[in-house]
């Protein structure tokens, strides 16, 4: 938190990379953050939480690329204490593969008394139980570029060479102004900081409403990393950010273009079927006692609208480019029935 009351995100990470050309065995390299680990099916476990937007991105990309059989998934419970995420959803409160109760243990296995945030997403080396990387932006780009040999047939190219500069530019603005913008509103501790944050957020949402009026996706005519960056914030907006974070000029459901874009993605395999509104709401309203001391979780909003026709096919676009949609969600990874409007149906 800055003196002005502005929320400033701690963006320091364990930034090792897992690469296709790293020597087998590994890791190699001198310092944490500069080491490289080899791509190796079955070696790594993605620690995520349905609640967290940053983790949600990695879960979406893993599914779109069909990496479920290659990189396993540990899901932390939606609420946590000051020592951060736990595996309370698992039998006995212990992740069955890593054998730990707290994600903190995987951070400590890498850096004893790790002093920064114990955050999701984190990729963990299963043999040593140690965190390899918690750099959310790099994790998905490396799933796309480094794990190609292990992606499913028909996996889309979410980071196409021809559009990388534009994807990076749009993603940067989405990250600073929207993904982080909602937190800047919600965690502001002075009126001035909040007012400035609100202006910044809505300037960006107005830009997106305009940009997406004439194009189905953010960059090019296919789903890319840029859409994956935006979706987790948009899908949480009306349920959480509008009220809890005071981002309340409008709901997304009141912005015709962004609402149709959001429904389009929600109804696309990999997006809605990885979204858990119950855990999302529990996380924000229960964990942030500073802004919701009663920890009461709201019942609304009504989510039925997410399944209504969006009409965005008329803008053209090829969602999967030269690829194909992913198949059904693996049975052990389905969002529980009743946690989103798709769950409990064949599409969920
Ligand atoms: N630190 C990353 C994003 C990851 C992140 O902040 N995750 C949150 C959950 S949404 C978290 O794990 N917080 C746990 C904690 O701080 O104890 C970033 O800002 O780029």
pLDDT in tens, 241-260: 999 999 999 999 999 999 99
pLDDT at residue number 10: 59
pLDDT at residue number 267: 97
Q: Which helix (H) or strand (E) holds 201?
A: helix 191-211
User: Counting runs of H as helices and runs of E as strands, what totals does the chain give?
Assistant: 9, 6
Q: How far is the CA of 72 from the centre of ligand 1 (A)?
A: 20
CA distance 73 to 84: 18
Mean pLDDT estimate for the chain:
95
The residues annotated as belonging to the active site are 52, 183
CA distance 232 to 21: 31
Please indicate whether the domains covering 17-150 and 161-343 agree at the CATH topology level.
no
pLDDT at residue number 343: 80
Q: Say whether pLDDT at 194 is over 90.
A: yes
Of 10, 119, 131, 187, best ligand 1 pocket probe by most atoms within 8 Å of the beta carbon: 119
CA distance 122 to 119: 7
- State the Cα angle at 140 between 228 and 55, rounded to 5°: 70
The string of pLDDT tens digits covering residues 280-328 is 999 999 999 999 999 999 999 999 999 999 999 999 999 999 999 999 9
pTM strictly above 0.85: yes
Q: How confident is the model at residue 1 (pLDDT cuts 50, 70, 90)?
A: low
The string of pLDDT tens digits covering residues 135-149 is 999 999 999 999 999
Percentage of residues of the chain with pLDDT beyond 90: 89
CA-to-CA dists, residue 90 to 26, 96, 169, 175, 339, angstroms: 30, 7, 39, 32, 18
Q: Is the CB of 118 under 6 A from ligand 1?
A: yes
Q: Is the CB of 136 under 6 A from ligand 1?
A: yes
Mean pLDDT of the 234-239 span: 98
Residue with CA closest to ligand 1 atom 1: 11
Q: Compute how many other C-beta atoms are within 10 angstroms of the C-beta atom of residue 151.
A: 19
Q: How far is the CA of 320 from the centre of ligand 1 (A)?
A: 29
CA distance 210 to 202: 12
Q: How confident is the model at residue 342 (pLDDT cuts 50, 70, 90)?
A: confident
The string of pLDDT tens digits covering residues 255-280 is 999 999 999 999 999 999 999 999 99
Of 143, 178, 140, 129, the closest CA to residue 56 belongs to 140
Residue with CA closest to ligand 1 atom 19: 11
Q: Say whether pLDDT at 209 is over 60.
A: yes
CA distance 284 to 199: 22
Q: How far is the CA of 180 from the centre of ligand 1 (A)?
A: 11
Mean pLDDT of the 213-232 span: 98
CA distance 27 to 35: 6
Mean pLDDT of the 156-173 span: 97
Rounded to 10 deg, the angle between the 136-145 and 225-236 helix axes is: 140
Helix (H, G, I), strand (E, B) or coil at 218: coil
Of 59, 76, 117, best ligand 1 pocket probe by most atoms within 8 Å of the beta carbon: 117
CA distance 23 to 115: 30
CATH class of the 17-150 domain in this structure: alpha beta
Is residue 129 within 8 Å of residue 98, measured between CB atoms? Answer: yes
Q: In what order do the strands lie in the sheet with 72-76?
A: 72-76, 44-49, 122-125, 130-133
- Residue ranges of domains in the chain: 17-150, 161-343
Mean pLDDT of the 45-59 span: 98
Topology (CATH level 3) of domain 161-343: Glutathione S-transferase Yfyf (Class Pi); Chain A, domain 2 (1.20.1050)
């Amino acid at each position: 938190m800055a003196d002005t009351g502005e929320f400033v995100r701690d963006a320091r990470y364990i930034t090792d990379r897992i690469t296709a050309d790293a020597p087998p065995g590994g890791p190699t390299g001198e310092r944490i953050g500069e080491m490289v680990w080899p791509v190796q099916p079955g070696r790594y476990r993605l620690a995520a939480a349905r609640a967290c937007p940053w983790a949600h991105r990695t879960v979406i990309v893993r599914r779109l690329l069909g990496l479920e059989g290659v990189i396993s998934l540990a899901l932390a419970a939606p609420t946590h204490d000051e020592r951060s995420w736990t595996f309370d959803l698992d039998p006995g409160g212990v992740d069955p593969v890593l054998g730990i109760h707290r994600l903190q243990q995987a951070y400590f296995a890498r850096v004893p008394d790790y002093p920064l945030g114990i955050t999701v997403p984190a990729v963990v080396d299963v043999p040593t139980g140690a965190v390899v990387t918690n750099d959310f932006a790099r994790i998905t780009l490396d799933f796309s570029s480094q794990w190609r040999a292990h992606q499913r047939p028909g996996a889309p190219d979410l980071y196409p060479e021809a559009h990388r500069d534009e994807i990076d530019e749009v993603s940067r603005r989405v990250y600073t102004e929207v993904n982080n913008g909602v937190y800047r509103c919600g965690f502001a501790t002075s009126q001035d900081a909040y007012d400035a944050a609100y202006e910044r957020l809505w300037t960006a949402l107005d830009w997106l409403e305009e940009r997406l009026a004439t194009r189905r996706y953010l960059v090019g005519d296919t789903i890319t990393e840029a859409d994956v960056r935006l979706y987790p914030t948009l899908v949480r907006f009306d349920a959480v950010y509008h009220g809890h974070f005071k981002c309340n000029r409008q709901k997304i459901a009141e912005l015709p273009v962004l609402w149709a874009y959001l429904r389009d993605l929600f109804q696309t395999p990999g997006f809605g079927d990885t979204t858990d509104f119950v855990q999302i709401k529990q996380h924000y309203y229960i964990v942030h006692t500073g802004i919701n001391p009663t920890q009461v979780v709201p019942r609304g909003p009504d989510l039925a609208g997410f399944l209504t026709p969006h009409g965005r096919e008329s803008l053209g676009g090829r969602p999967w480019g030269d690829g194909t949609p992913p198949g059904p969600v693996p049975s052990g990874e389905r969002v529980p029935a009743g946690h989103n409007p798709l769950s409990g149906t064949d599409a969920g």
